[in-house]
A and B are shown apart, each in its own frame.
Chain A
Amino acid sequence: DAGVIQSPRHEVTEMGQEVTLRCKPISGHNSLFWYRQTMMRGLELLIYFNNNVPIDDSGMPEDRFSAKMPNASFSTLKIQPSEPRDSAVYFCATASGVGKSYEQYFGPGTRLTVT
């Protein structure tokens, strides 16, 4: 079974541009998490979904960030407009809500650089 798939793996954009990060969860996983990792702040949870519904978006830094999960197999994290301080590695992780399979499986991450 394929793991969590994220695209693109690397993104370089100019300040003010819109950025869209994509995530395909592991089939059957019904919880999806977006994280941001920086040297200064470590690993931060931005938002998570359960059964495609956003449960907690308190980690979303500001209105420039938005996330959607239109179906069980796809999620996006959008930054508009992007700023240099948004430069980070963004991880998507998913977990199964069935039985004891609780651990989160992480994707390879998207390294975002905003110049």
Chain B
Amino acid sequence: AQKVTQAQTEISVVEKEDVTLDCVYETRDTTYYLFWYKQPPSGELVFLIRRNSFDEQNEISGRYSWNFQKSTSSFNFTITASQVVDSAVYFCALGPPYNTDKLIFGTGTRLQVFP
């Protein structure tokens, strides 16, 4: 069975703190994709990143970084020096190798960054 678990329902931090959002997945596929989406208060889901299961290199984009560890089936997302604008719900998702198939979304983690 395919499953994505985001155990942290809600996280609150103060601006400039670093925060890590956890994502654990289950799949029997040897090839798969992992995603993170951001849903700000405006409601629209915004694509952040996609990773291929064969590429375990960590990725950094500005204040955002992602740590993919196949050994622990985790794809964690870290925001460095958080800002109020980072307040949103963040979803992790798992995708099969065929791009015509559906993504499995986690339940999301609500991040609140206070000034």
Contacts and interface: CB of A to CB of B under 8 A. Distances in A.
B33 interface: yes
A97 B95 CA distance: 14
Contacts of B45: 91, 93, 106
Contacts of A105: 47
B44 A109 contact: yes
Interface residues of B, number: 20
Interface residues of A, number: 25
Interface stretch (B59-67, B77-85, B103-111): B103-111
B43 A31 contact: no
Main secondary structure on B side of the interface with A: loop
A108 B55 CA distance: 31
A79 interface: no
Nearest to B50: A103
A14 interface: no
A18 B100 CA distance: 30
B105 A95 contact: no
A7 interface: no
A102 B105 contact: no
Interface string A61-104: 00000000000000000000000000001010101110001111
Contacts of A103: 35, 47, 50
B99 interface: yes
17 contacts: A42-B108, A43-B91, A43-B108, A48-B102, A55-B101, A56-B102, A93-B45, A95-B99, A96-B99, A97-B99, A101-B99, A103-B35, A105-B47, A106-B45, A108-B42, A108-B43, A108-B44
Interface of A: 31, 33, 42-43, 45, 48, 50, 55-56, 89, 91, 93, 95-97, 101-109, 111
Interface of B: 33, 35, 37, 42-47, 50, 91, 95, 99-103, 105, 107-108
8 closest cross-chain pairs (CB), A and B:
A106-B45, A50-B100, A102-B99, A103-B47, A43-B105, A108-B44, A42-B107, A103-B50
